Amino acid sequence: MQKALAGLRRINLDGLRWRVFDAKGQVLGRLASQIAVVLQGKDKPTYAPHVENGDMCIVLNAKDISVTGRKMTDKIYYWHTGYIGHLKERRLKDQMEKDPTEVIRKAVLLMLPRNRLRDDRDRKLRIFSGNEHPFHDRLVEPFAMPPRQVREMRPRARRALIRAQKKEQATRTKEEGVKTEECHIRDLWIETL
């Protein structure tokens, strides 16, 4: 928790909102893009690219983040130690076991512009593995993630789906027609008796 409080003296906290993001079950990239928007202050009407007016971001439950596809085993983080042949690598799964906060931090930092304001924005980002944070004395606002917009079906797939529905409906009416015809013949046979 001491690490979480470090560097707050270098930030001008006057007029900042404290936004809380719950990462439980959230997709890594979608969450990181929303955090980057809040850190830059792009959600405010006073946004200017050369002015630092973003809000403080507190991210909880970093260990419960999810990723799509096979990224948990296929995504690899690389870094170099500076010595010849010392290119190191670590899979996302191993990084989540070691330090899940770094996964979110790297995702957010790579979405921020590479300029002089980047370090200040990084200081405004506080990430915690669990559900607890030491900023209970502040007025924190929970951030509601926008609903995910599902893309409309592609035209070719949509036409195929409509054809399949029409075919199913035609076979159903054909079966019903055969059944009604059989019932009609049976009724006529019973009447003649």
What average pLDDT does the chain have? Answer: 87
Q: Where are the domains of the chain?
A: 2-142, 152-193
To the question of domain 2-142 being in CATH 3.90.1180.10, the answer is yes
Burial of 32 (0-12, 13-18, 19+ CB in 10 A): buried
CA distance 186 to 193: 11
Q: What is the pLDDT of residues 86-107, one digit of tens each?
A: 999 999 999 999 999 999 999 9
On the question of pLDDT at 70 being above 70, the answer is: yes
Residue 57 Cα distances to 15, 38, 48, 141, 193, angstroms: 14, 8, 19, 10, 85
At 180, the pLDDT band (50, 70, 90 cuts) reads low
Q: What is the pLDDT of residues 125-175, one digit of tens each?
A: 999 999 999 888 888 999 988 887 666 667 777 788 888 888 888 888 777
Closest by CA position to 61, among listed 96, 92, 107: 96
Exposure b/e, 59-83, CB count within 10 A at least 16 = b: bbbbbbbebeeebeeebeeeeeeee
Query: What's the rounded mean pLDDT across residues 12-37?
Result: 91
Q: Inform me whether the pLDDT recorded for 178 exceeds 70.
A: no
